[in-house]
């Protein structure tokens, strides 16, 4: 069995200032988004839409605000509503941890809707642009989870070559390194799928040649929801929630409407020709 190396979560300690690895993974995520999005706008039909590098910088600003606010509020509302209702000031204590992807997604969608409104662009044009650029950021987040030794997996057979003991879990049980699974699934695999699909003509054009928006966004929601649903079978459920109805975790239940919404968006995209 492997044993988690228990890396120091602090990458750089300057006394009055501590730089955490998790914070650095967030910076890497935002840097990768900027790198990929500036290349995405060189693809048709974004060139025809007049997208410029300055637009990407503004998108990144809106997205960062949406991720932080949405991720925090999502965690508060989806996972510990009663705790924060009794301790409302702790909602602001982000340094104690507590971010939810599904909340971050909702926050980003609101931010993108505001950006689209202010710039006079279609909402799904904006989300189709950013969708293939998001999974690498998710992958960086899972790297941070692994370094911190958090969000470990469920118990695994000791004969599994990559089974790992996470001392942070308080036991010597071999576990699935679910952070690595999510890195590979909702990070790298989803990126490859969306980037390749986003470059294809069928992603943005109907058979009659009309430009359509929403297919890449819909595929992102389907792909992330499906990959996260699978990964949750190997990830230890939150101790304060456990498994819910039908032995599904909260993360899995939040993926169900996401997959359904993604399928609806993708299927109806052809009827929303620009």
pLDDT surpassing 90 at residue 264 = yes
Question: Is 142 assigned a ligand-binding role in the annotation?
Answer: yes
**Which pLDDT does position 88 carry in this prediction?**
79
Predicted confidence band of residue 273 (pLDDT cuts 50, 70, 90): low
Query: Is the pLDDT confidence value at 271 over 80?
Result: no
Domain boundaries, the chain: 20-154+167-272
Residue with tokens 């966004």: 217
222, 266 contact by CB (below 8 A): yes
| Average pLDDT, rounded, for the chain | 91
169 is written with which tokens?
């879990």
Which of 6-15, 53-62, 142-151, 195-204 has the weakest average pLDDT?
6-15
Could you give the angle at the alpha carbon of 15 between the alpha carbons of 12 and 17, nearest 5°? 65
pLDDT, tens digit, for every residue of 124-181?
999 999 999 999 999 999 999 999 998 899 999 999 999 999 999 989 999 999 999 9
Is the pLDDT at 93 greater than 80? The verdict is no
Asked if residue 96 has pLDDT above 80, the reply is no
145 CB-near residues (< 8 Å, 6+ apart) = 22, 151, 179, 182
Q: What is the mean pLDDT of the segment spanning 19-48? A: 92
Residue 238: pLDDT band (50, 70, 90) is confident
Predicted TM-score (pTM) of this structure: 0.90
Q: Residue 129: what pLDDT?
A: 97
Task: Give the residue from 160, 158, 142, 139 showing the smallest Cα distance to 150.
Answer: 142
Which pLDDT score is estimated for 51?
A: 95
Measured CA to CA, the distance from residue 29 to residue 133 in angstroms comes to 10
CA distance 2 to 158: 10
28 vs 31: CA distance, rounded Å: 5
pLDDT above 90 for 78: no
The mean pLDDT of 14-20, rounded to a whole number, is 84
């Amino acid at each position: 069995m492997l044993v988690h190396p228990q890396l120091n979560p602090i990458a750089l300690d300057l006394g009055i200032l501590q730089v955490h690895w998790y914070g650095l993974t967030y910076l890497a995520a935002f840097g990768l988004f900027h790198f990929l999005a500036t290349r995405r706008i060189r693809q048709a039909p974004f060139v025809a839409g007049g997208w410029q590098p300055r637009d990407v910088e503004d998108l990144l600003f809106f997205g960062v605000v949406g991720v932080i606010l949405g991720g925090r509020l999502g965690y508060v509302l989806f996972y510990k509503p009663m705790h924060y209702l009794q301790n409302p000031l702790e909602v602001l204590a982000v340094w104690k941890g507590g971010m939810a992807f599904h909340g971050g997604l909702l926050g980003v969608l609101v931010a993108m809707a505001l950006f689209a409104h202010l710039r006079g662009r279609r909402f799904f044009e904006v989300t189709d642009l950013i969708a293939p650029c998001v999974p690498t950021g998710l992958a960086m987040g899972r790297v941070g989870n692994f370094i911190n030794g958090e969000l470990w997996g469920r118990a695994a057979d000791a004969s599994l070559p990559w089974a790992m003991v996470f001392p942070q879990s308080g036991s010597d049980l071999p576990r699935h390194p679910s952070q690595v699974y999510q890195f590979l699934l909702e990070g790298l695999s989803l990126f490859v799928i969306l980037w390749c699909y986003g470059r294809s003509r069928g992603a943005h054009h109907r058979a009659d040649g009309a430009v359509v928006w929403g297919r890449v966004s819909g595929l992102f929601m389907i792909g992330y929801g499906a990959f996260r649903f699978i990964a949750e079978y190997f990830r230890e459920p939150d101790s304060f929630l456990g498994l819910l109805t039908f032995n599904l975790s909260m993360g899995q239940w939040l993926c169900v409407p996401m997959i359904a919404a993604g399928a609806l968006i993708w299927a109806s995209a052809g009827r929303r020709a620009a």
